[in-house]
Amino acid sequence: MSKKKTKFNINLGKTLGDIKSNMERDVSKKILPSSELVQNLSKDFAFVPVEQIEVNPDQPRKNFDATDLNDLKESIKIHGLIQPITVRRMAEGQYQLISGERRWRAAQLANIHEIPAIIRDDIEGDKIPEYSLVENIQRSELQPLEEAEGYLSLINKYKYTQEEVSKAVSKSRSHIDNMIRI
């Protein structure tokens, strides 16, 4: 019986020096992020004042359940905001919310004035609705009508084809077609 090598047993029996050496070799092969990329990532994280964040007008979620927001607020008071929101810089020190509106709203309810944010200036304005929709679909938190309206927004407002929406959100074209019939 041959033993299948997996990434989980690859470092068994190796010293920390061996593992570090392998990691350095992998970095040089571009398998792991280069130190330049890691430095750039650290520049893209900040604690942002909640009052400097503007809501995304194309946010697919339209309804925010008060009970759920209150539960999230209480959790944030106890544990802090575990998952950062995602924003992009706007003019005059403002930020536009890309994802995390529920977290942003709950943080305000918890009287938190600065929240952790990943700053994604690389996302163009017309791509923000796509990112917002994908993030909400991945979390499975959208109501079917909100999901359908998000797809229609990409199609009507941003001129996506159904095929492009399908690829953007990793759903079948027939799923997209069925949802927009709602």
CB neighbours of residue 58 within 10 Å: 17
Q: What is the mean pLDDT of residues 132-152?
A: 77
Which of these is catalytic: 36, 54, 74, 101?
101
User: How far does Cα 24 stand from its chain's mean position?
Assistant: 29
Higher pLDDT, 59 or 23: 59
Judge whether residue 89 has pLDDT over 90.
Answer: yes
Q: Which residues pair with 117 in a beta bridge?
A: 46, 85
Q: What is the mean pLDDT of residues 150-172?
A: 87
Residues whose CB is less than 8 angstroms from the CB of residue 166 and which lie 6 or more positions away in sequence, other chains included:
172, 173, 175, 176
Cβ(182)–Cβ(145) below 8 Å: yes
pLDDT, averaged across the chain: 77
Instruction: Report residue 163's pLDDT band, with 50, 70 and 90 as the boundaries.
Output: very high
Selection from 63-77, 106-120, 150-164 with the highest mean pLDDT: 106-120
Least confident segment among 54-58, 76-80, 96-100, 171-175: 54-58
Judge whether residue 94 has pLDDT over 90.
Answer: yes
What angle, rounded to 10 degrees, do the helices at 128-138 and 144-156 form?
160
For this structure, is 146 an active site residue?
no
Q: pLDDT by residue (tens digit) across 36-72?
A: 444 444 458 899 999 999 998 877 777 888 998 998 9
Handedness of CA 96, 102, 105, 108 (dihedral sign): negative
Instruction: Give the tokens for residue 74.
Output: 């209480």
b/e 112-143 (16+ beta carbons within 10 angstroms → b): beebbbbbbeebeeeebbbbbbbbbbeeeebe
Give the Å distances, CA to CA, from 75 to 68, 83, 95: 11, 12, 25
